[in-house]
Each structure stands twice: as structure tokens, then as C-alpha cells.
Structure 1
Amino acid sequence: MSAPSTPVDTVDPGGLAAALSALREGAPLVQCLTNVVVAQWTANTLLAAGASPVMVDNPQEARACAGVAGGVLVNVGTPQEETAAAMTEAVAGAAEAGTPWVLDPVGAGALAWRTRIAHDLLGRHAPAVIRGNASEILALDGGTGGKGVEGVDAAEDAMPAATALAHELGCVVAVSGRVDHVTDGERVVRVSNGSPLLTKVTGAGCALGALMAGFTAVVADRLVAATAATAVFTLAAEAAQRAARGPGSFAVALLDELDRLQPAAVADGVRLS
């Protein structure tokens, strides 16, 4: 089934459906500098959704790759000296080429070095999207962070910080939670889809960040891009939960449902407020 004939630059069910059609048609190359725990899962998520992953995270190639990619994910989940240098190179390459990049500040606030890496990258070139849990977003605005990589704050509580970051950097900030919140500093969209089993699968949020990078490659309005990625991922999670017996089968089913999800189902199923 095809997407409704709605412009991609609208934050409504039809616009999000059109964004998924654009992702599938464009099959953008998404460079992922991500953590070692989730690299394969992230690549498979992008493939299932319709994008093309490339996992280039060394400083010798990262800058050049960012120059030819459609979108770039920078995820600071397991930083090493070499990968941190590659992140700086990738952000520089993205700035030179006009490639949108997404920052996932995993564990920001809880651990000092990765927090400094995230702040340094933000100071070099503003991302298209920052995606994190509430504690990570609060940490970027001066908070203390969560418990390791796990958030301890509610998404609603992080919205003042998210709005401030969006204004300061001219980007979109997506706060994951029971209800996902996405803002560009002026508009706020809430997505109420999802499954509690997402919290039982390592790297769900990391994969969502990669999807956001993919959508920014094909959708000019960053708020639409981040919201579309959230809607697609959480709708697939709802369908996967219905087919799953537990976290293991849920993870497999989630990839299947991302592959099966049609634009019309996005338009019919997404719950926005």
C-alpha cells in the first residue's frame, strides 16, 4: 500500500507516512559511529526499515564517509580514544558537506569523559537531532545524568532542557520515554506508541537514533524526520509485542515488523498529541 498524498513536511499522520515512503525510495546511506554493544543490531534495524548502514568509525575514514553519507549517527555509548577522534572527524566532515548528523549522548552526566565528548561535538557543529533519554538530555543542559546508561527522569521533566537546547543549537531534541517527546524549540510533538519490551532489548534507543539519522537524509524538516523515526520504530514495536513470547523473540519480531510496516499503517496507527 502506498502512502497518502500528503507533503513530507507536515507533522501529522499523513506526513509521517510520506516520510517512510521517502526513506524506502531514497534508501539513504547512514554512517554509524556507535557503541560495540549494538553495532549489528543498529545495522539490521536500518536495513529492515529501508536505509543502508555503513559502520565507519575510525579517524582515517570517518571524515570522508560523512561527506558522502546521507546522514550520520554519533553514539557515545562505548567511547575509546580512537572512536572519539573519529567522531570529531565525522562531525567535521558532516559540517563541510552539509550532512545532517544525530547525537545520541548515551550515559551523559553519569560519566565525565563521555559527557565532555558530547559537549565538545556540540560545540563544533550543531546536529540535526539530539536523541536521548530524559536524564541524558538534562545532563547536556547541566544535570547529573542517570544510573549508568539508564535514565531516572521522566520525559516531561526534561522538556525545559530540551527546549533550551533546541533553541541554543537550532536543532531538534527527541526525548525517549513512556511517551516520546520531540521538539524544535517551538513545536512539541508527543508519540504515545511503543512497547514495554523495548526496555528489555539492548540498544533499542541506539537503533532509534540511527533511524533518525536515516530520516534526516530524506526529510528536510528535522521535527518531521525525528517524529517519523519514532513513529515507525514504536509502531513496529507494538506489532512485535503481539507476536513475541519474550524479549528474545521480540527483538527478532521487531526487525520483521520494521520490514513489513507500510506507510498506510503509520498513518492509521500513530498516536500523536
Structure 2
Amino acid sequence: DATAMTQHAQALVLNCGTLSPDSVEAMLAAGQAANENKIPVILDPVAVGTTPFRTEMILSILHKVKCTVIRGNSSEMGFLAGKGERPRGVDAAPDDDIDSAELDRERSQLAIELAKKYSTVSAVTGQRDYVSDGKRVARIDNGHPLLPAVTGTGCMATSVIAAWTAAAEDPFLAALGALAAYGVAAEIAANKANGPGTFQAHLFDAVYNLNAEQLKDKLKISVMEV
């Protein structure tokens, strides 16, 4: 069923939040069907490195499926890049609240290295987001501190990337635009929220209602050639 359903999709998200042998088998079948039909595949390697089973399954997916975009927090992406970082939570990394030039360089380089290693677009999300295709790297300063306070916002970001990738020819620009727009939506939602609970509801509404006029003056993006 996964193979047949994938053929009707414009993009495929492989979210590794809840893994079992059966779900991995289905993801592999769907991912390979997407590759055969030139459908973009977006991988969310949730908590890779935390357990042997989870790590083995996610690495198996990466080996057997060509992923168009990989999105994760810095600890997840650092593990995939071979940095030896010990993965932490699914939506927040241990030093996401650190604002420094050194951290900025590290995250940019991480995005570049991972993109080259897997011949993909890598999206490292956190306090700032970094996107690279190995030739270009972009930093996105949109977003809000309430995002990591709500479980599932990282998974939602992955789905937004998939929607943009389905509609764009360049997956680098798609991932960049998706995360910037998602960050703007988070800023709009935070202005209306009283805390994490109401923020979640307002975030859904902000993503749904987002338009070009709202984005025009709010985007905070810098792009560099590698």
C-alpha cells in the first residue's frame, strides 16, 4: 500500500519519530518508489544515535533511499555527519540558546558537510536555521524561542519543507524558503500567544494564513557561496 500510495504524491516525508520493523519496511518501500518516480523525499532522522535500533534503521534508510532533503536539529545532524555529538531531544539541541560567531560557523559547516556526504540538501534547525546543498549555505534568523517548547514543531517544519519542495525545482531554495516562512509564522503566532499551549494553535493558523505580504518585510535570510 505504501508503494502504491507514494506514486500519487508530490513529495514524501519519512519521519522516524516512531520506528518499528514494519514501519521501516514501509518507509523503505515508499522511499524507493519515490526515487523511481522522481518524487522528492524529505527525511526527518528523529533522535538518531540515541539507541542502536533507531540508529541502524535510520542509517539503513539513508543507504537505500536517495533523500532530497534531510532536516534535523544540530545534535541529530552532527551525529549523521560523524561529529560524535550525543543526540538530545527531538526539537531542541543542547546549545541552541548560545549565540556566538563560533557556533554560527560550526552550524554552517555542519550543514555543508552533511550535504556533501549524502549528496542532499541539509537543513540544520535550531535558534537559527542553516541550509546547504554543498555549494551554497544559507542562514535563517526567523523563528521564535517558543518553537522548541512545543513537541512536534520540528516534524511540522519537515512537512512544510516537503510542501515547498513539491512546488519548486530547486530543493535548496525550497528548504530555505520553507524554513524562513515557517519562522515568520512562528513570530506571528508568538505575538498572539500567552504560552506554549496557545502558541501551538496560533502557529497552525499562522502557517495556514501566511501570505506574500506578510513575508515581504519579515524575512531574515543570508546566502553565501561555499
Q: Please report the TM-score for the alignment, with normalisation by the length of structure 2.
A: 0.89
Matches within 5 A, 1:20-31: none
Matches within 5 A, 1:189-228: 189-228=138-177
**In the aligned structure 2, how far is the partner of 1:186 from the partner of 1:225?**
15
Q: 2:64: which partner in 1?
A: 124
Displacement of 1:209: 0.4
Cα deviation code 1:239-270 (max 9, x no counterpart)? 11110111111111111111221112212211
Q: 1:140 to 1:153 in 2, by over 3 A?
A: farther
Q: Which has the higher contact order (CA 8 A, sep 6+)?
A: 1
Cα deviation code 1:143-175 (max 9, x no counterpart)? 243224342255743443332221233211000
Letter in structure 2 aligned against 1:216: T
**In the aligned structure 1, how far is the partner of 2:190 from the partner of 2:77?**
28
> What's the % identity of the aligned pairs?
37
Cα deviation code 1:176-207 (max 9, x no counterpart)? 01111111111111110111111111100001
Displacement of 1:111: 1.9
Q: 1:145: which partner in 2?
A: 86
Q: 1:75: which partner in 2?
A: 15
Letter in structure 2 aligned against 1:145: R
Q: Choose which of 30, 50, 53 in structure 2 pairs with 1:110.
A: 50
Does 1:268 pair with 2:210?
no
**In the aligned structure 2, how far is the partner of 1:144 from the partner of 1:112?**
15
Q: Please report the TM-score for the alignment, with normalisation by the length of structure 1.
A: 0.74
Question: Residue 82 of structure 1: SS of its match in structure 2?
Answer: helix
**In the aligned structure 2, how far is the partner of 1:257 from the partner of 1:232?**
10
Gaps in structure 1 of 5+ consecutive residues: 1-60
**In the aligned structure 2, how far is the partner of 1:159 from the partner of 1:116?**
26
Q: 1:96: which partner in 2?
A: 36
Q: 1:164: which partner in 2?
A: 113
Q: Is the 8 A contact 2:44 2:158 kept in 1?
A: yes
Letter in structure 1 aligned against 2:71: R
Question: Residue 18 of structure 2: SS of its match in structure 1?
Answer: coil
Q: 2:184: which partner in 1?
A: 235
Question: Residue 200 of structure 2: SS of its match in structure 1?
Answer: helix
Letter in structure 2 aligned against 1:129: V
